[in-house]
Amino acid sequence: MAPGSGAEGEAVSGAQLIAESLKAQDIKYMFGIVGIPVTEIAIAAQAIGIKYVGMRNEQAACYAASAVGYLTGRPGVCLVVSGPGFLHALGGMANATVNCWPLIVIGGSSDRNQETMGAFQEFPQVEAGRLYNKLSVRPSSLEVIPAVIEKAVRTSIYGRPGSCYIDIPGDFVNLQVNKSSVKYVECCPPPPVSMAERSAVSEAAFLITRSKQPLLIIGKGAAYSHAENNIRKLVDLSGLPFLPTPMAKGVVPDNHLNCVAAARSMALQHADVIILLGARLNWILHFGLPPRFRQDAKFIQIDICAEELGNNVRPAATLLGDINAVTKQLLEEFNERPFKYPSDSEWWKRLREKIMNNEERSKELALQKSLPMNYYTAFHHIRELIPKDCILVNEGANTMDIGRTMLPNYYPRQRLDAGTFGTMGVGLGFAIAAAMVAKDQTPEKRVVCIEGDSAFGFSGMEVETICRYNLPILIIVVNNNGIYTGLDADAWKEVLKSGDPSTCVPPVSLLPNSHYEEMMSAFGGKGYFVKTPEELQNALKASITDKQTPSLINVMIDPHSERKKQEFPWLTRSSL
């Protein structure tokens, strides 16, 4: 019998129908902010076992729901009210679609009989949603809600994943319909697995075996497709050096001998054959263009999305398909045609020398004794004490960029950061989602959220959400009193003597020595304000030992601390 079906004459409300349809599609998590007209939807969802987390901001709720999609492969749901609530969630929809994460947003809207009359919070939500989503739709009746929800879930996970929006008129929520007239549908299965053409696989393998300075780049798409086992086999079998993109860290452990993340610039600039496993040639990889890459570099692109193949560069080989399946095809090709890139090659010698030099530079910065601490000193102690298997959320400017190099990942899908869209404010939403998923799948796993003070400010009130649901998240705010750089207390006082703060305070500056940890204490968690390595160590040990209480460590660092000098700026700019 189809989910929700019953005897003729039995009635069901729109809210119940939405909840039942989500449950039928194996949706487990809902995040949102309730109000007119969607409150009953959240109540109905809870009543049938969907976990609802009430957030403090629609953007954060949308970020949380999208992170569930990445972590589980099944979309989370973001529930928002009409008009402003819908608009606040657009940032999360865009972030999910650009990041290629499945997401379902359900938004209440004006009653149908009040359209064009200036109804409460009336807004053209379906039309506005089309720019940010793979699908933006309003059910024509209660009877088709199950079919619409199935289509939205299927669209969100099939092909290149992304966000889908479902618009629910306010009068639909409490309206009732006879169950016998409802078009119930079965749960949509996981996406079908597609494989590359055999000739393309053979061509790719041939190019790899002929390369002198190869490089394997592992992208977030490889993590999403759960390709870690086959990619690890490929690395071990072929001996190829590999570079993970930020959220692909851990697909192959960062401490693997073939990881060249510490020599990123050299690896990109001098590789002659580059294999892209679910990584896009966008700004994160400098578009695949000189001077970051060789003019004659040959690219082998492996991607689930046909439109991505050939973007920005003309690839030497294109393999369209699921990353895990195509990697397995490459493994089979190399088993038939054994290949092992020599570990004593000149390319490997140069890479290892660069890795050693860069790691020494970072170590020197990390072990500096001066106060206040710099980024590298703070991250050194954090790295030494946080659990190796924690889910790591990392956002901010320098905080995120330095964290990518200083904080290793050993397992896949356990690093969440600003991603392809470079979105600030995602941190606490991501952390809440990760904690909810971990509670169900691996309760002993910790979530550690490391943020700059500016990034924390985007969603800081979600600390109350964390405490309300008693999620044992450790938040570490790396506080430099500003965006990129800040002012110390003395410099701040001198600047204020100049007159109106709006005309004399540098735009990048925030209030010095802000006690963000007191926000956590105010809601029942534990807060720590630290200035020295010893204080940081003690706070970390106390927070990690206490597995039941949310904690926030506010780490004061030098306002002028920055990244070590880079060979290439991280952001490629046009010379036009």
Secondary-structure percent of the chain, ordered helix, strand, coil, rounded to 5: 45, 15, 40
The sign of the dihedral angle between the CA atoms of 167, 68, 439, 472 is: negative
**567 DSSP 8-state letter:** S
- Structure token digits, residue 60: 């954060």
Instruction: Count how many domains the chain has.
Output: 3
Closest to 274 (Cα-Cα) out of 288, 291, 259, 256:
288
Question: What's the CA gap between 22 and 37, in Å, rounded?
Answer: 18
Q: Which of 115-124, 234-243, 442-451, 499-508 is predicted with the least confidence, judged by mean pLDDT? A: 115-124
Same domain? For 538 and 393 the reply is: yes
CATH number for 325: 3.40.50.1220
Spatial contact of 474 and 553, defined as CB atoms under 8 Å apart: yes
DSSP 435-491: HHHHHHH-TT--EEEEEEHHHHHHHTTHHHHHHHTT--EEEEEEE-SEESEE--HHH
In the chain, the N- to C-terminal Cα span, in Å, equals 63
Above 80 in pLDDT, residue 570?
no
- Structure token digits, residue 388: 């190796």
Same domain? For 278 and 230 the reply is: yes
Q: Mean pLDDT of all residues in the chain?
A: 95
Spatial contact of 101 and 220, defined as CB atoms under 8 Å apart: no
310 contacts: CB under 8 Å, gap ≥ 6: 301, 318
Same domain? For 154 and 280 the reply is: no
pLDDT (tens digit per residue) in 316-341? 999 999 999 999 999 999 999 899 99
Same domain? For 376 and 474 the reply is: yes
Above 90 in pLDDT, residue 531?
yes
Distant-in-sequence contacts of 233-238, Cβ < 8 A, 24+ apart? 233/331, 234/327, 234/330, 234/331, 234/334, 237/331, 237/334, 237/339, 237/340, 238/208, 238/334, 238/339, 238/340, 238/341
CATH number for 507: 3.40.50.970
Has residue 357 been placed in a domain? no
- Structure token digits, residue 407: 């904080």
Question: What's the CA gap between 344 and 387, in Å, rounded?
Answer: 34
pLDDT (tens digit per residue) in 194-207? 999 999 999 999 99
- Structure token digits, residue 189: 């299965």
Question: What's the CA gap between 127 and 140, in Å, rounded?
Answer: 15
Same domain? For 146 and 236 the reply is: no
- Mean pLDDT confidence for 463-483: 97
Above 70 in pLDDT, residue 573?
no
Same domain? For 218 and 298 the reply is: yes
Same domain? For 229 and 301 the reply is: yes
Has residue 519 been placed in a domain? yes
Has residue 83 been placed in a domain? yes
Same domain? For 176 and 51 the reply is: yes
The residue range of the domain holding 248 is: 198-351
- Mean pLDDT confidence for 50-70: 98
